[in-house]
Amino acid sequence: MQNATEALRTFTLWIVLTSIFLGAALWLPGWKMAVRSAASSERKLALTLDDGPNPPYTEKFLQLLEHHQIPATFFFIGRNIEFHRASAQKVVDSGMEVGNHSYSHTRLQWKMPSQLAFEIEHTHSLIRSLGYQGPIPFRAPYGQWGGFLGLWLFFRSLPNILYDVPPTPADYFRADPAAIAESSSLRARGGSILLLHDGEGIRIESLEAADRLIRTLKAKGFQWVRLSELLTLR
């Protein structure tokens, strides 16, 4: 009974804090509930790959990036790092950027602080345990933002780095790579953050879409840069 009362008290407090935060967030200068692109007119872009590590596709993406001599950021799921540690290690050793995409890829928006702490902090530790020393951007699963998650991130000054160019149609098994690449290249502009997936399933189409997309946008005069570099552009 005491546990139930305490849970209700925590829940109420959390609701009140969230309401205050959501109101305040409308006026807070410099704080965004989600970052979707860089405010820049320079022709620079960042490629981000979600849901890995996922052998052999993560390795194939690494080869592709090396072939094109461009950087990308791999947003790892913590649980997948545990399953595919060797694959994760290859990404770290390649010098690519690594991001935190939660531990279990669950919907985080209305999770309690203890669950948020586990999902985000445990994944952070797993990435560091690979010897990765660079910045670790965070991206919530399913493009979610705000809610309890927004509050939690705000108090930790940890931005939620989403994207402005998701794959359309979705880059799943049997999707048309040419259609994905064309759609993404038409929507990309200076400062864009593009999303594709190396994780969760068969990614042959995503790989081909990435190859086409990288070449098309290079030909249009865009430069692919690291996400951390893109986010410093103003």
Instruction: Pick the piece of the chain touching Zn ion (CB under 5 A) from 43-51, 65-73, 168-176, 226-234.
Output: 43-51
* Residue the block writes with tokens 């953050």: 193
Question: Quick one: DSSP state of residue 161?
Answer: B
One residue of 51, 59, 119, 198 binding Zn ion per CB under 5 A: 51
- Under rule CB under 5 A, residue 59 binds Zn ion: no
Residue number of the CB closest to Zn ion reads 50
One residue of 71, 78, 99, 141 binding Zn ion per CB under 5 A: 141
Q: 81: Cβ–Cβ under 8 A, 6 or more apart, which residues?
A: 53, 88, 123, 126, 127, 130
Q: 19: Cβ–Cβ under 8 A, 6 or more apart, which residues?
A: none
Using the minimum distance from each CB to Zn ion, give the nearer residue, 50 or 97: 50
Over the window 154 to 183, marking each residue x when it contacts Zn ion by CB under 5 A and - when it does not, the resulting string is ------------------------------
What's the Cα-to-Cα distance from 81 to each of 33, 90, 206, 229, rounded to whole Å? 27, 11, 20, 25
- Under rule CB under 5 A, residue 50 binds Zn ion: yes
Where does this chain bind Zn ion (CB under 5 A)?
50-51, 141
